[in-house]
A and B are shown apart, each in its own frame.
Chain A
Amino acid sequence: MTTVKLATSALALAAAAGAAQARDQIQIAGSSTVLPYATIVAEAFGENFDFPTPVVEGGGSGAGRKKMCEGLGENTIDIANSSSRIKQSDIDLCNTNGVTEIMEVRIGYDGIVFASDLNGPEFAYTPADWFSALAAEVVVDGAIVANPNKTWADVNGDLPAQDILAFVPGTKHGTREVFDEKVILAGCEETGAYEAFKTAAGGDEDAAEEKCMALRTDGVSVDIDGDYTETLARIDANKNAIGVFGLSFYQNNTDKLRVATMNGVVPTVESIAAGDYPVSRPLYFYVKKAHLGVIPGLQEYIDFFVSDDMAGPDGPLAAYGLVSDPELAATQEMVATGTPMAPLN
């Protein structure tokens, strides 16, 4: 008979599971680039406030925004971290599901660095070098040909004669978008290949851009779908390779990696803040305005996140390797008044 009793209690438990539960902690998901820093803020928030520590999840920028746009209510997340700006398609999805007011909070900037094994040679790159090394097709003597370059010296005589092998983030990463845009596309324009592609495509700019950003598929450029730890492990196994990292990750592993300069600028928190280092991007989080005042501590959390103590130039944000936003005061003001974001232009 005990089995029957057990079964009944099991059913009772399952029924209780259906009952709605009031949620008292903030839930956050999104970009794996923002995740480590968001956990730092969440930890400090839980220590110093009477609210529970927010629950922070990764999953990627796009996935986080989609999750946020699933609707309103306690079993949806409150904040989406994102390493790229929200897209119109996300806003449309949000609107259809009743999430009409979203606050956009820019928390700072992240630099993207190129680093190789510590014991390898030094590299000083320009975006043009990367385009010539990794693009599927390049322009040689006015003709568009499949990329013939084998070593970095083929690309640029000043670079070491080391075989080209690059580990770049996979397409699901926000980092890849910035890499494509600020390195490959910029290099494409620098070398003049953009104009050649455009002429070849009959003046179609989109087709030319697409051609610029098409990377080689002969094993020279390797997409890494995992995170930076995987890139680091791959470089460890293959000392000739160059990897693409976030500045904060590199700063935690300076004893293993040698960073390359871009346009002669060494990536540091300072050079990114000054705008000298070309490959950087803003980081955001998006808050559902309807959840403010419903989820306890949400307003306090976002205030705390952008406070000078956390996101200022001397706070944990900078200590972690991200770059403080020069317009932080405006963001603080926006967060305090709860202004929802304007439509994307």
Chain B
Amino acid sequence: MTNAAVHSTPRSGSLFSQDQRTRRRNTAERRFRIYGQAAIGIAMMALVILLASVLGNGLSAFRQTFINMPVTLDADVLDKKGNRDADDLKKVTTIGYSKLLLNSLTQLIEDQGLAIEGLAASDIKDMISDDAAAQVRNRVLANPELIGQTVSLKVLANGRIDGYLKGRVSMESAERDSNVSVNQLRLTDEMMERGLIGKSFNWSFITAADASELRPEAAGLGVAILGSAYMMIVVLVLALPIGVAASIYLEEFAPKNRWTDLIEVNISNLAAVPSIVFGILGLAIFINFAGLPQSAPIVGGLVLTLMTLPTIIISTRAAIKAVPPSIRDAALGIGASKMQTVFHHVLPLAAPGILTGTIIGLAQALGETAPLLLIGMVAFVRDFPAAPPEGLFDPAAALPVQVYNWTQRADPAFVERASGAIIVLLIFLLAMNAVAILLRRKFERRW
């Protein structure tokens, strides 16, 4: 009734002065625009907060505190028999080497005349990272001629000393902290004045392996980066050909019937399956049934392949569909076979779209954590895997899993490491997405 009444009343007033309804419509539109801007604002704010917190926590992981000191590689300690025999040299453990480092540092403190009241030997020993002893040992074993010499070394400082230079540890917190003493921090101040201790770029954060709870300063991403790279190789080698073959067949050759419809629906459904499900599948099939090793990049790669396949198939089909039918018709018209048409004309034109889809699929797989938790990739792995293909069966970690791992460690220094690992992961993802965009820009053709 009211509707009819509205419609039957003729419009009154001029077009130039808005009536109430028009005003209402216009305010509704303005309101909607503000909602939209607010939504974008919130999204941008979330991004900025995320980036600020990750960068704020993590950038410091790329710089590390080192102590510059001369180390006397005493032949009496390292090679008692004096024959430089490799097996005899190996008998001196890292405990022996850490004593050597302690003596060298004590000597340095004396030579420099750094007098700190109440500084105990254990305080001096704890200035140096436990990892330094292992590094010196490896160096000596690789080059036995060094024994007997005094070499100038840059050794890793303990994580708490590093924390002091980075502002994580203060004199007040050191009083309550059983792992660091105020005397150590005073010594650090003195050494800093003389340039004996300082921060420099930390390549080992990118190249070194993970380290245990007691030496966060030595923990690096090397094994994780390698493991992630191996998995991406497996995904690329398996998912690309399988995905492309499946898409070409479905798009160009398969008859349109109930079966292909069913397959299509299932591929779309598969793309929406939570990734943890693929992890359970991987554990059951690849490890328990096929007997593949735990923690190996091959299993991770296979699981991620299953996860990425639907993404690649869907994007490849879209790319093939976007090639105009006239191209196919022309090729067929001059006598090309169906297969020649596909491989000589359709596929090259669809290639940029296929590559973009593949790279985005890979980027998604690179950041995936959940399925890897189930196949033993959350392990503590310190040995670098061998070169592929054998290395695919060696244990390795993965970048996102390393982040997860480090957030669970007790030592606060690992918070910085975890954020640093996130930065590395984000750089990889950004690089991959940038490549995808570049490829699309450069090769895409529009009709």
Instruction: Find out whether the CB atom of B410 lies under 8 angstroms from the CB atom of A229.
Output: yes
Which residues of A are found within 8 Å of B380, using beta-carbon distances?
35, 38-39, 42, 55-57
Query: Closest Cβ of chain B: how far from A244's Cβ, in Å?
Result: 14
Across the interface, B294 reaches (CB within 8 A) one of A39, A58, A75, namely A75
Q: Is B206 an interface residue (CB 8 A)?
A: no
Assuming the contacts A7-B241, A58-B378, A75-B292, asked whether A316 and B177 have C-beta atoms less than 8 A apart, the reply is no
Among A9, A36, A46, A309, the residue within 8 A (CB) of B382 is A46
B134 CB within 8 Å of chain A? yes
The answer to the question of A237 belonging to the interface, with a C-beta cut-off of 8 Å to chain B, is no
Within A46-95, which residues are at the interface with B (CB < 8 Å)?
A: 46-48, 50, 52-53, 55-59, 70, 73-75, 77
* Given A57-B379, A254-B176, A16 contacting B410 (CB threshold 8 A): no
Q: Is the CB of B238 within 8 A of A40?
A: no
B250 close to A (CB within 8 Å): no
Instruction: Knowing A17-B298, A27-B294, A75-B293, say if A43 contacts B410 (CB, 8 Å).
Output: no
Interface residue ranges of B373-411 to A (CB < 8 Å): 376, 378-383, 389, 393, 395, 407-411
User: Within the assembled complex, what's the spacing in Å between the Cα atoms of A118 and B175?
Assistant: 13
A309 to B381 CA separation, bound complex (whole angstroms): 23
Assuming the A-B contacts A36-B212, A46-B382, A255-B177, are A249 and B410 also in contact, with contact meaning beta carbons closer than 8 angstroms in the complex?
yes
Q: Which B residue's beta carbon lies closest to that of A118?
A: B176
Which chain B residues lie closer than 8 Å to A59 at the CB level? 378
Contact partners of A50 in chain B: CB under 8 A: 90
Is A13 in contact with B238, judged by CB distance below 8 angstroms?
Answer: yes
A36-B212, A252-B179 are known contacts. Are A21 and B393 too (CB-CB below 8 A)? Answer: yes
Q: How far does the alpha carbon of A13 sit from the alpha carbon of B211 in the complex, in Å?
A: 32
In residues 231-251 of chain B, which contact A (Cβ within 8 Å)? 234, 237-238, 240-242, 244-245
**Chain A 239-261 per-residue mask, 1 if CB under 8 angstroms from chain B, else 0:** 00000000011011111000000
| Residues on A with beta carbons closer than 8 Å to the beta carbon of B411 | 252
Contact B292–A57 (Cβ < 8 Å)? no
* Contact flag A10-B238 (CB < 8 Å), given A39-B212, A53-B383, A255-B177: yes
- Is B3 among interface residues, defined by CB-CB distance under 8 A? no
Does B42 touch A at the CB level, under 8 Å?
no
Smallest Cβ-Cβ distance to B180: which chain A residue: A255
**Contact B376–A57 (Cβ < 8 Å):** yes
- Residue B178 lies at the interface, judged by CB distance under 8 Å to chain A: yes
Q: Does any Cβ of B come within 8 Å of A14's Cβ? A: yes
B237 lies within 8 A of A6 (CB): yes
CB-defined interface of A1-33 with B at 8 Å, one 1/0 digit per residue?
A: 101001101100110111011010101010010
B94 interface neighbour in A9, A16, A17, A47, Cβ under 8 Å: A47
Q: Residue B213 at the A interface, CB < 8 A?
A: yes
A7-B409 CB under 8 A given contacts A18-B290, A46-B382, A55-B395: no
In the complex, chain A residues 123-155 whose Cβ is within 8 Å of any chain B Cβ:
none
| A205 contacts B by Cβ under 8 Å | no
Interface residues of B in 270-307 (CB under 8 A from A): 286-288, 290-295, 298, 302
Q: Is the Cβ of B412 less than 8 Å from the Cβ of A253?
A: yes
Q: State how many angstroms separate the Cβ of B57 from the closest Cβ of chain A.
A: 14
Whether the Cβ atoms of B212 and A43 lie closer than 8 Å is yes
Query: Which residue in B174, B211, B237, B288 is a CB contact (below 8 Å) of A43?
Result: B211
Smallest Cβ-Cβ distance to A245: which chain B residue: B410
User: Contacts A36-B212, A43-B212, A47-B134 given: A255-B382 contact, CB under 8 Å?
Assistant: no
Note all chain A residues with C-beta closer than 8 A to B389: 13, 16
12 contacts between A and B (CB under 8 A): A17-B290, A18-B290, A18-B291, A48-B93, A57-B294, A57-B295, A75-B291, A75-B293, A75-B294, A249-B410, A252-B179, A320-B214
Q: Name B's A-contacting residues (CB within 8 A).
A: 90, 93-95, 134, 137, 169, 173-174, 176-179, 211-215, 234, 237-238, 240-242, 244-245, 286-288, 290-295, 298, 302, 343, 347, 376, 378-383, 389, 393, 395, 407-412
- Given A14-B238, A77-B294, A320-B213, 10 more A-B residue pairs with CB atoms under 8 Å apart are A17-B298, A18-B291, A27-B294, A35-B380, A42-B380, A53-B381, A55-B295, A58-B408, A254-B178, A255-B176
**Chain A contacts to B: CB under 8 angstroms:** 1, 3, 6-7, 9-10, 13-14, 16-18, 20-21, 23, 25, 27, 29, 32, 35-40, 42-44, 46-48, 50, 52-53, 55-59, 70, 73-75, 77, 118, 227-229, 248-249, 251-255, 309, 316, 319-320
